[in-house]
């Protein structure tokens, strides 16, 4: 049975759902004003592992994710500039152009990291009427008020506002910036905007008609409205980064439970920060680390995924290039060991079941991915058939999503090519199994032996033009495609 740490109760609990065997899951999606940095993507990797673990252990899952393309201010609360407008100004494009470009970029990164696309992906701009309906309901129920041109949620009407009060002060303070103007329209300091009509900036790009005037929704109401539409009134599992716990998730709970009149979501799953040696990763610090940058520096994105899996989601993870280099070495050794296994048909079902139980136990122990990776090595060390090991690794990789068998097969073929050698007259050619290339290399050797160096150089240049590099070695030559 799955045990997960619940941020709302601050303890590990047996995971329970409103409908047995079915999970309604919601993921806070990206604000698409810039590329996602790899700190953001750590959260999506771990949420992907969680969803796949639930499916792997027998649950039916409906996973919903929003795309924030309006309403998210730079403070994460109610102050500052709309992040989408900020991105549009930076690149001299329209807000919707920015939204499409960075939405596509986000899902491209997800594909490279083997992150499954949620069942429902909903941009906030597509559900404005739903948000208006929800705000109207909150006003009717006495939980919201109109003041100074905006609609605010009245936190004084709640029995409890601070739900996630065990987090570090630094985590709770995310989104609270010094030097911002106090909003004198608020009755209480914790009140938050449900609908803006009086913007602090005149050129807000996206506005809609509402009962309170032309304006746009607050960030928090968007997630609540999207989840209610696609997950229903009972949400089983809400995911996000730890920096979303306050104020975003706190405000979601306040407004949603006030609107539906009952407990909304039992289980809250928060992934902790990816840090650098200089502190928490952030877009506001100038240059930031992206999947594209990892690729430019020669790193396979799946190495970063494995790097994340080696740590627990509730622990801070420190990124450095040295750590990435270590992860590359670990990943390559793992693939090399799998490549040495020989495919076959003789799967030992008893051993398979015994080892799989250890993998499942790691996942059900608060998604302990480090233990799950240890289970991979337990398979490699087990005294059983190679076919059994390969079957287990294929099974595990549904959750791990590291392309273990595909990469091992590629390595196997690479090893086979490297081992291909042709020996003629005491001259050995090591290449990639192409007889036509072998023949040219042999002709070059014969030309050199006849001291026809011009012909030997011509053949070398011909091979180079075909993308073939030759290295002369004792007793022969090696060639490879470059």
Residues 58 and 141 in one domain: yes
Band of residue 374 on the pLDDT scale cut at 50, 70, 90: very high
Task: State how far the alpha carbon of 11 is from the alpha carbons of 82, 166, 301, 318, in Å.
Answer: 36, 11, 33, 25
Q: What confidence score (pLDDT) does residue 200 get?
A: 57
Residue 173 in this model has a pLDDT that exceeds 70: no
Residues 397 and 427 in one domain: no
For residue 342, give the nearest of 386, 380, 383, 379 by alpha carbon: 386
Residues 245 and 130 in one domain: yes
Interval 288-316: pLDDT, tens: 799 999 999 999 999 999 999 999 999 99
Torsion (CA) 52, 53, 58, 62 in degrees, nearest 10: -40
Domain end position, chosen among 415, 440, 468: 415
Band of residue 96 on the pLDDT scale cut at 50, 70, 90: confident
Band of residue 166 on the pLDDT scale cut at 50, 70, 90: low
Residues 135 and 209 in one domain: yes
Q: Averaged over 69-87, what is the pLDDT?
A: 75
Residues 116 and 90 in one domain: yes
Task: State how far the alpha carbon of 21 is from the alpha carbons of 53, 54, 231, 432, in Å.
Answer: 13, 10, 15, 51
Q: What confidence score (pLDDT) does residue 254 get?
A: 97
Tell me if 28 sits within 8 A of 240, measured CB to CB: yes
Please report, for the domain that includes residue 392, its CATH number. 1.20.120.1910
Residues 398 and 426 in one domain: no
Residues 424 and 380 in one domain: no
What is the residue-wise DSSP string for 184-218? TT-SSTT-EEEEESS-SSTT-S--B--TT-SBEE-
Q: Averaged over 199-222, what is the pLDDT?
A: 84
Q: What is the mean pLDDT of the chain?
A: 90
Q: Averaged over 161-190, what is the pLDDT?
A: 64
Band of residue 169 on the pLDDT scale cut at 50, 70, 90: very low
Q: Averaged over 141-163, what is the pLDDT?
A: 95
* Within a domain: 308: no
How many percent of the chain have pLDDT more than 70?
92
Band of residue 203 on the pLDDT scale cut at 50, 70, 90: low
Please report, for the domain that includes residue 178, its CATH number. 3.40.50.620
Q: What confidence score (pLDDT) does residue 282 get?
A: 66
Q: What confidence score (pLDDT) does residue 452 get?
A: 94
Residue 217 in this model has a pLDDT that exceeds 70: yes
Q: What confidence score (pLDDT) does residue 175 get?
A: 37
Q: Which range marks the domain in which residue 248 is found?
A: 3-271
Residues 13 and 35 in one domain: yes
- With residue 24 as reference, give the H or E element that holds it: strand 22-27
* Within a domain: 312: no
Interval 379-426: pLDDT, tens: 999 999 999 999 999 999 999 999 999 999 999 888 777 667 777 778
Q: Averaged over 203-207, what is the pLDDT?
A: 75
Residues 145 and 44 in one domain: yes
Stretch among 35-44, 168-177, 182-191, 343-352 having the lowest mean pLDDT: 168-177
Domain end position, chosen among 415, 433, 452: 415
The count of domains in the chain is 3
Stretch among 180-189, 233-242, 400-409, 448-457 having the lowest mean pLDDT: 180-189
* Within a domain: 281: no
Q: Averaged over 457-472, what is the pLDDT?
A: 92
Residues 426 and 373 in one domain: no
Residues 425 and 390 in one domain: no
Q: Give residues with Cβ within 8 angstroms of 101, minimum separation 6.
A: 32, 93
Helices (H), 401-434: 404-419
For residue 189, give the nearest of 176, 202, 206 by alpha carbon: 176
Stretch among 167-176, 196-205, 330-339 having the lowest mean pLDDT: 167-176
For residue 4, give the nearest of 239, 163, 167 by alpha carbon: 239
Residue 436 in this model has a pLDDT that exceeds 60: yes
Domain end position, chosen among 386, 415, 444: 415
Q: Averaged over 196-222, what is the pLDDT?
A: 84
Residues 73 and 7 in one domain: yes
Band of residue 174 on the pLDDT scale cut at 50, 70, 90: very low
């Amino acid at each position: 049975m799955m045990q997960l740490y619940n941020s709302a109760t601050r303890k590990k609990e047996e995971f329970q759902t409103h409908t047995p065997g079915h999970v309604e899951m919601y993921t806070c999606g990206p604000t698409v004003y810039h590329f996602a940095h790899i700190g953001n993507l750590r959260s999506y990797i771990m949420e992907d592992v969680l969803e796949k673990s639930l499916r792997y252990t027998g649950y039916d899952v409906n996973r919903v994710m929003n795309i924030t393309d309006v309403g998210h201010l730079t403070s994460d609360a109610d102050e500052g500039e709309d992040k989408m407008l900020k991105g549009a100004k930076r690149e001299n494009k329209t807000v919707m152009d920015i939204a499409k470009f960075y939405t596509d970029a986000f899902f491209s990164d997800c594909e490279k990291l083997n992150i499954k696309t949620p069942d429902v992906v909903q941009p906030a701009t597509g559900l404005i009427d739903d948000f208006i309906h929800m705000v109207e309901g909150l006003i009717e129920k006495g939980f919201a008020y109109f003041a100074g041109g905006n609609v605010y949620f009245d936190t004084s009407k709640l029995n409890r506002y601070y739900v996630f009060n065990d987090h570090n002060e630094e985590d709770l303070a995310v989104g609270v910036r010094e030097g911002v103007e106090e909003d004198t329209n608020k009755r209480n300091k914790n009140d938050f905007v449900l609908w803006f009509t009086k913007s602090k900036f005149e050129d807000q790009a996206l506005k809609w008609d509402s009962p309170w005037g032309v304006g746009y929704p607050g960030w928090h109401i968007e997630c609540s409205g999207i989840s209610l539409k696609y997950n229903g009134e009972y949400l089983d599992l809400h995911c996000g980064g730890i920096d979303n716990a306050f104020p975003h998730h706190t405000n979601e709970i306040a407004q949603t439970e006030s609107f539906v009149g009952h407990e909304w979501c039992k289980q809250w799953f928060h992934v902790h920060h990816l840090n650098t040696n200089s502190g928490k990763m952030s877009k506001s610090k100038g240059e930031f680390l992206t999947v594209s940058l990892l690729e430019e520096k020669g790193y396979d994105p799946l190495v970063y995924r494995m790097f994340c899996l080696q740590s627990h989601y509730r622990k801070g993870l420190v990124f450095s290039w040295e750590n990435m280099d270590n992860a590359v070495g670990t990943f390559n050794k793992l693939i090399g060991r799998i490549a040495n296994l020989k495919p076959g048909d003789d799967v030992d079902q008893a051993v398979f079941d015994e080892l799989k139980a250890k993998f499942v136990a790691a996942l059900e122990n608060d998604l302990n991915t480090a233990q799950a990776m240890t289970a991979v090595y337990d398979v490699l060390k087990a005294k059983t058939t190679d076919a059994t090991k390969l079957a287990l690794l294929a099974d595990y990789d549904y959750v791990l999503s590291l392309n273990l068998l595909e990469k091992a097969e590629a390595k196997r073929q690479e090893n086979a090519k490297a081992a291909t050698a042709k020996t003629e007259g005491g001259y050995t050619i090591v290449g990639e199994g192409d007889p036509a290339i072998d023949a040219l290399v042999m002709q070059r050797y014969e030309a050199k032996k006849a001291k026809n160096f011009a012909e030997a150089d011509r053949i070398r240049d011909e091979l180079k033009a075909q993308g073939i590099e030759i290295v002369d070695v004792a007793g022969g030559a090696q060639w490879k495609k470059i």
